[in-house]
Amino acid sequence: MNDYYATLGVARDASEADIKKAYRKLARELHPDVAGAESADRFKEVAAAYEVLGNSDKRAQYDRGVDPRGARGGQQGGAQGFGFEDIFEQFFGGGGSPFGQQQRGPASRTQRGGDTLVQATLSLKEAVFGVSREVQVDLADVCGTCSGSCCAPGTQPQQCAQCHGQGVVQRMARSLLGNVMTTSPCPACGGYGTTIPSPCPDCSGQGRTHSRHTVKVDIPAGVETGTRIRLAGRGDAGVAGGQKGDLYVEIREKRDEVFERRGDDLHCTLEVPMTAAALGATMTVDTFDGDQAVEVRPGTHAGSTVKLKGLGVGRLQRSGRGDLHVHLDVQTPTDLTDEQAELLRQLATARGEEMPEANLAPVGGGVFHRLRDAFKGR
Ligand SMILES: [Zn+2]
Ligand SMILES: [Zn+2]
């Protein structure tokens, strides 16, 4: 996630006023009219940071670890993205010119397409191994009728009659210092310098149409709820030849009924009959990797764990897998027949346990601690 605080050079607990101040200062220094085209990217970063931190709702969201700009859900947000117009609005909004910088020529209609967010729900097994998925998403495409020009076939944009193609209009305003010439975007053409007399009928002059797309996504092993996979250039088409936005696929991992994930490790609980715990046994466990043998050693205590190395979750962006921890839950029989109870009494007699001695386990030993340690970090 972008560090917007660092971009603006403010502390995480900076006040609204400080953030605004820092933004204005940077914007003034970096505005392309002042610093030239080289600073345009940096200028956009600063504007993006302010878009989030300058808004208390978005800032709160960001502080919780979600970038409100990271990707925009659905069509509405995705349709436009954060483009030139937002910056334009901040500098020229209301016709003012807060920094003495003014639009000098017609604005470009070209805009980058918006980013789009879709969700994909995976089973735990799919998250363990990775999976190839098809997701359905509504995306903007370049209009086939006008090829994105926004004009009806056979027509062209016309120079704006009001600003004569300049994109700006000037007017004289009175101030304490005398008459001042101010420049503001032309209201007739929105600052573009051209108007579109015959908008394309198929896209209503937007240059884009929307349709449902099926997108194949290769989801790597190790993703978890909240992981976002970025498909660069697979989002909305840009406006008037602008580049495409990105498509983000956000993962939701379903709970599994048997296996629980903690990081790259998996945990499960295996019920072991009391007799098997005492005598030892080899038990077969149905894992995501098929049947696996679990060795229950003679004299196994409740709460013991058997680790099956490398049968956990695939590590995201690294090689290898975590481990599968099988927690052994020794089952005390509750349905003894008379005959079985008699056998157990004989065993108790043979072991001199008819009147069991009450031994308290030392601190650090005993099942209470083993269980606690086994579930630490849950
Ligand atoms: Zn069109
Ligand atoms: Zn105009």
Taking the centre of ligand 2 as the mean of its atom positions, its distance from the CA of residue 170, in whole angstroms, is: 11
Do the beta carbons of residue 126 and residue 259 sit within 8 Å? no
pLDDT of residue 103: 62
Cα(212) to centroid(ligand 1), Å: 17
Cα–ligand 1 centroid distance for 78 (angstroms): 19
Question: 3-state class of 129 per DSSP?
Answer: helix
The CA 40 to ligand 2 mean position distance, Å, reads 25
Angle between helices 16-30 and 40-53 (to 10 degrees): 160
Over the stretch 41-62, which tens digit does the pLDDT of each residue have? 788 888 888 888 988 888 888 8
What is the chain's Cα-based Rg? 33
316 CA distance to ligand 2 middle (Å): 52
Q: Each residue of 22-48: b (16+ CB within 10 Å) or e?
A: bbeebbeebbeeeeeeebeeebbbbbb
Identify the pLDDT of residue 90. 41
Q: How far is the CA of 335 from the centre of ligand 2 (A)?
A: 89
Residue 371 alpha carbon to ligand 1 centre in Å? 66
Answer positive or negative: Cα dihedral of 54, 58, 63, 65.
negative
Task: Calculate how far, in angstroms, residue 169's C-alpha sits from the geometric centre of ligand 2.
Answer: 8
From the CA of 190, which ligand is nearest?
2
Coil, helix or strand for 269?
strand
Residue 191 structure tokens? 């600052």
Please compute, for residue 240, the number of CA atoms within 13 A of its CA located in the half-sphere on the CB side.
13
- Tokens for 47? 């504007």
Proximal ligand: closest to the CA of 145? 1
CA distance linking residue 48 with residue 242, whole number of Å: 18
Distance 154 CA to ligand 1 centre (A): 12
Which bound ligand lies closest to the C-alpha atom of 169?
2
Which residues are registered as beta bridge partners of 64?
none
Are 139 and 77 spatial neighbours (Cβ–Cβ below 8 Å)? Answer: no
Q: Please write down the HEC assignment for all residues of 204-245.
A: CCCCEEEEEEEEEEEECCCCCCCCEEEECCCCCCCECCCCCC
**Ligand positioned closest to the Cα atom of 151:** 1
Give the distance (Å) from ligand 2 centre to CA of residue 120.
45
Count CB neighbours of 49 within 10 A.
25
pLDDT of amino acid 280: 97
Q: Which domains does the chain have, with CATH numbers?
A: 4-96 (1.10.287.110), 116-151+199-253 (2.60.260.20), 158-195 (no CATH), 260-374 (2.60.260.20)
pLDDT of residue 85: 38
* Ligand 1 centroid to residue 168 C-alpha, Å: 26
pLDDT in tens, the chain (378 residues): 678 888 888 888 888 888 888 888 888 777 766 666 677 778 888 888 888 898 888 888 888 777 777 644 333 333 333 434 334 334 433 333 333 445 678 888 888 999 999 999 999 999 999 999 999 999 999 999 999 889 999 999 999 999 999 999 888 877 777 777 888 889 999 899 999 999 999 998 889 999 999 999 999 999 999 999 999 999 999 988 889 999 999 999 999 999 999 999 999 999 999 999 999 999 999 999 999 999 999 999 988 999 999 999 999 988 999 999 999 999 999 999 999 999 999 999 999 988 888 888 777 766 666 666 666 644
